[in-house]
Structure 1
Amino acid sequence: MRWFLVAFASLAMVASVHAQDASAFDPPDPATDALVAECLARNGVTMLPDTDVICYNEAIFPEQFLKLNEFPEASKIIITSPGGNVATARMMSAILDRRGEPAIIAGPCMSACAMVLLPGLDNVHIHHTAHIAVHGITMMSYETWWGWLKDDAKPTRSAMMMAHM
């Protein structure tokens, strides 16, 4: 009897996970799919040619995200990123929120990229190509991190040089 209950509970959980997974993405749209494919094939922060769509396919660091201020109003912003700096991602979130365009998350959106989503953009769409991943973050300095690992010891000169490479 116990085996039957465990099997039944497992099937129920699998069905509910599948139902949640199926509703996690926006429905397919051929026009959006074509724009996403074009953005994923590019590198950098650009306007897609002959469109009013911004493609952000880059790490999240100040030099890259500040390019968003250079573009005119867009119908949407497609974002794909391997991650970057968390503090910069928070600033990027504020800029995206102020711009107000719909954001489409497509392809990899790792680490700090997910931080762009978390502060609550008003109009976010998750494309079926999206792969979102987060991990623990910290905003501590290298010296603090080293001390935390090494019983409050100061980092060696060589460790500091390696950290700044």
Structure 2
Amino acid sequence: MADFDDLLTANRSFADSFSLSGFDGIARAGVAMVTCMDSRIDPLNMIGLKAGDAKILRNPGGRVTDQALVALVLGVNLLNVERILVVEHTRCAMATSSEDELKRRLGESSGRDAEWMTLGAIDDQRRTIEADVIRVKTHPLISDAVSVGGFLYDVDSGLLEPIV
């Protein structure tokens, strides 16, 4: 476990001032966000929230995958989610490379064939955001009363651009 010593030390410091003990896990601000796993994205801070306020779902490209949709359904129906943001971002590797290019790069890096994987490259971010918002809005277990918006986050300015 020595590879994790720095992180465990940081965790002990975090635990010293931990304030969410006993928290029931609802989204205090009623917000859920689906966004990319990119480390340039700070989901809570970018919308003025803090731990406990929102459900944050992250994956390559910030796509509303089947699993993300399950989490959103649970969030809406059981965890106080009333607003959902679908957030992709500028300069995303999933949107600046083709599926074939990503597979080639992955194969080169791993030394193994990656052709069998579906990685989910994004051809058109705006169209993808619109499609993912529609996917959320039309799900039978997500009420029409839930607000759903699609955004493009600029990793160089920190601004969210409303798309749909």
Identify the structure with the greater helix proportion. 1
TM-score exceeds 0.5: no
Instruction: State the structure with bigger RCO (CA 8 A, min sep 6), 1 or 2.
Output: 2
**Structure 2 length-normalised TM:** 0.28
**Structure 1 length-normalised TM:** 0.28
Of structures 1 and 2, the larger Rg is shown by 1
